[in-house]
Structures are given as C-alpha cells and as structure tokens.
Amino acid sequence: MSSATPVTVEIGQPAPDFTLHSTPDQTVSLSELRGRPVVLVFYPADWSPVCGDQVSLYNELLAEFRAYNSEIIGISVDGVWCHAAFAGDRKLHFPLLADFEPKGDVARRYGVYEASGGTSQRALFVIDADGIVRWRYVSPIGINPGADGILDALDKLPRKQGSSS
Amino acid sequence: MSHLTPAVGPADHVQGPRDAGIVLVEYGDFECPYCGEAYPELKALQQAMGDALCFVFRHFPLTNAHPHAERAAEFAEAATTIGRFWEMHDLLYENQEALDDRSLVGYAAQLGFDKALIESTLRGDFAERVRHDFTGGVRSGVNGTPCLFINGQRYDGPRDADSLIELFRRQD
C-alpha cells in the first residue's frame, strides 16, 4: 500500500479534469463535456467474464441516460486497442477511455486506484453540467453496482432549461 | 440502494401464494445462459419450498448481448393474455438455443395463440409491458441477469437450489 495521503474527490467540489484516449486517434476531455451531466464509470478491466457485466448493463441503458441529456463514460487502465476489441465484441455504444499512461493516473486523482491489483476500483461518479461532483459510489470490487444509484443521482440534479434533447 | 422499487403487484407473474413468507423476484432474460442455468435450480427450489415461497418473474432482456431476448419476452407477455405465461416461460428456457422469430411463432402456435395474437406480438404490441419491467428493474438495482430479489432486497449470493433452500431455512 502506498503511504501517500489518499486523494478523495469530494461532493460539491469540481471534478478533476483529464484528457484520455477513447480510440487510437481520438481523445476525450472532461472539460469538453461541460454543459451536460457526466456519468463516470471506473471499472477494473475489460473482458469481465460475466455476460451481464457492468458495462454491458449500462450499454442497455443508454436511452435512460440520454433522457437526462447525460453522457456516460467508462474508464479502465486497459489500452485503446483492448478497449476497441472489447467494445466491438460487446457492441458498446459509449466511449471507453484508456487510463493507460501513466497507468491509472486519472483513477488515482479520483481516489479510486487499487494499487494491489493494479486497476481502478469499481467506482461511479455523477458530475453535473458545471463540472461539480454530485454523487460518488465505490462498490465492492466483485459486485456490479447496477444503475439505480446513478439514476437517483441524475434525478436530483437541477434540471437546466432546454437541457432535454 | 438496490431495493425492489416497484413492489410485487397484481400485474406481476406470480407462482405460489402472494402472502408467502418468502417472495423471490427474478429479473430474467430468456436468451441469457446464466438464466438458463438458474431455471432448473429455481424450479427445484419452488418444489422444495412449496407454499412457503412466492416466485415472481420480471423481464430484463439485454438486447445488445442477446438479439432474440426482447422478442421472446414479448411472446411471453402475449401468452399472458391467454393465461399461459408460465408455460411460455418454461418453453423458452427449455429451448434457449432456438429463439428466432420462426421458433417463437412455433411455440406460440403450440400454446394456442391465434393468428391475430401472433401478428400483434410480432408488431411489438407487448413491447411496452416488457419495457415497464425493464425500467423497474433498472430502478431496483438489477445488475445483470438473472438478478434475484428476496423480500425486496437484491441478492448477490449463489443461485443454486441447495444454497437458496439453506438460506431460507435459516431465515425461518
């Protein structure tokens, strides 16, 4: 275990900005998404062996997330080619970002890096349209947290005028 | 988190007494292999528990992963209108390998669907009812399939009949 002070991202504080690759030639920055709520999904690894896994579940719920005009983003320490293969296999329709170099840097900045396993924890953040963290949840690593907490958190965000597309 | 949000109600598909001490809700997908594995286990569980258990099935088709799951769920809903939901439920789980439209129409004919009901099902007339279950499941914290709720609380433990019987006996 690292002796460094654990970083925590507090509710009501600005979410740390980042820029990560979503594909070999494209990047996504959190700050580009300002104006819409963002659901950040840190998960340990691509290719989880269960069919009802977390990212596949969220993939089925994109209409639900869109109803809040929100953007959902997955983040793991896997590289872009791994993400591309995984997203293709599972027919995912939302971006997976590669927290690959320096490995786990963004997860560390959100206080959800698990050094012993070398992956992020299974952690969810809901960030409002102004980039403020409004909700966070860290699930036991073996338990898929589902989506009820995310949707409840999105429900509690103030509805911005004209925000529903 | 993860508490069954739409309580078990009159619109649900139920086997066993609604006032049983244990109410087990399954959110399931007819094409999901893990649901297929759970199917005989839950049957054995029902047999062992008798009237002490109320079993409820709700739809949670994962349509990207399982291209036939949604349509299969709609056929099960359509079967409800002629009082044969559970027979369709069982047929679908016993024939998970053959859930294409042609096969579904075959099961429907076997259970006594008339032509109009088959057409109505293929038009998607039962899609909204399936969606209703799905949305309720999302709100309840369904995290994959099958997902079980025991007396309203999500259950993430082993799903074999013996483990569940043991759990329920301990709760008595």
Total domains present in chain B: 1
Among residues 84-123 of chain B, which lie with CB inside 8 Å of chain A? none
* pLDDT score at A143: 84
User: If pLDDT is split at 50, 70 and 90, which confidence band does B3 have?
Assistant: confident
* pLDDT score at B42: 98
- Nearest alpha-carbon partner for B139 in A155, A73, A109: A155
User: If pLDDT is split at 50, 70 and 90, which confidence band does A161 have?
Assistant: very low
Condensed to tens digits (0 to 9), the pLDDT of residues A127-147 reads: 999 999 999 999 988 888 999
For residue B65, give the CATH number of its domain.
3.40.30.10
Q: Which residues in chain B are closer than 8 Å to A146, comparing Cβ atoms?
A: 1-2, 138, 141-143, 154
Task: Tally Cβ neighbours within 10 Å of residue B32.
Answer: 23
- Nearest alpha-carbon partner for A27 in A106, A91, A92, A133: A106
pTM of the model: 0.86
How confident is the model over A1-17, as a mean pLDDT?
Answer: 76
Interchain contact B145–A (C-beta under 8 A): yes
Alpha helices in chain B (DSSP H): 33-49, 69-80, 85-94, 101-110, 115-122, 127-140, 161-171
- What is the ipTM score, two decimals? 0.79
Task: Tally Cβ neighbours within 10 Å of residue B111.
Answer: 18
Strand, coil or helix: A77: coil
* pLDDT score at B97: 96
- Domain-wise residue ranges, chain A: 19-156
- Nearest alpha-carbon partner for A125 in A12, A40, A52: A40
Catalytic residue among A4, A51, A63, A143: A51
Which residue type, as a one-letter code, is found at position B34? Y
> Is residue B8 in a domain?
no
Residue with tokens 């598909």: B13
> Is residue B1 in a domain?
no
Interchain contact B32–A (C-beta under 8 A): yes
* pLDDT score at A49: 63
Which residue type, as a one-letter code, is found at position A18? F
d(CA B84, CA B78): 9
CATH of A19-156, one of 3.20.20.30, 3.40.50.2300, 3.40.30.10, 3.40.50.300: 3.40.30.10
Q: Which domain holds residue B114?
A: 21-171
